[in-house]
Amino acid sequence: MTLHLLIMGPPEAGKGTQANRLVARFGFLHLATGDMLRALSREDSPRGRQVDELLRRGEYVPDALVTQLVAERMDDRDVLLDGFPRTVAQAQALDALGVPIHCVLVLDVPDETLIARAAHRLFCPNCGAIYSMAANPPRAAGICDVCGHGLAQRVDDAPQTARHRLGVYHQRSEPVIAYYEQRGLVRHIDGQRPIEQVAATLRSVVAELLARRASVA
């Protein structure tokens, strides 16, 4: 049985950082819609420009577009879905494609902490590594530890946009948690703790899921 895991959390909850670690540890196929859309937004095409505009405003891109990006990349490997589904319509689209979700890992972090984190975040446009100037700085200022590329701030981490994205998350993505909660699939994880502690909890939840699968195989 192929395992389909979903990691969710509000902007700045540490979703990308933790997803990168889980993927490095367990070798899952990593489908991060935010990364795919940032790549698409650099494309010189009408679709690229539309996505760029939406990302700059902190708005979600259309459900059909994101669903297509994910669907065309799925195969029979265990997968960590990172940032998708983000609306109930996307969750329903995944159901319609016959892709079951086996567990939803939700990183819980209060709003005030999230807003403070936005100002400190840097990312590597080349390999996707994520840094925080406060909690997890790169070894050399402005340079990616992993690949040596220059780091950048996300356009949607500007204070106004970060706040707006949080509002969008509450309105459109929290219902997705309720959608999977009805099916008993959600595991809430306290995302306020240091990165390593959150990573350890996630690893043990995932290891438990893999062990359960092995025992029924």
What tokens does 107 get?
């990183």
- Smallest Cα–Cα separation from 102: which of 9, 202, 215, 3? 3
Which of 38, 86, 193, 213 is flagged as catalytic?
86
38 is catalytic: no
* DSSP code for 152: B
- Smallest Cα–Cα separation from 37: which of 28, 24, 49? 49
Least distance from ligand AMP to the Cβ atom of residue 90, Å? 6
Least distance from ligand AMP to the Cβ atom of residue 211, Å? 29
The footprint of ligand AMP (CB under 6 A) covers 11, 33-34, 37, 54-55, 58-61, 66, 83-84, 86, 90, 156, 165
Contact 23, 105 (CB under 8 A): no
Which of 73, 165, 193, 212 is flagged as catalytic?
165
Cβ distance to ligand AMP smaller for residue 39 or 213: 39
172 is catalytic: no
Please state, in angstroms and as integers, the Cα–Cα distance from residue 13 to each residue in 42, 116, 150, 201, following that order.
25, 11, 23, 15
Contact 192, 114 (CB under 8 A): no
Residue nearest ligand AMP, CB atom distance: 34
Cβ distance to ligand AMP smaller for residue 6 or 206: 6
Q: Report, as residue numbers or ranges, the catalytic residues.
A: 15, 86, 121, 154, 165
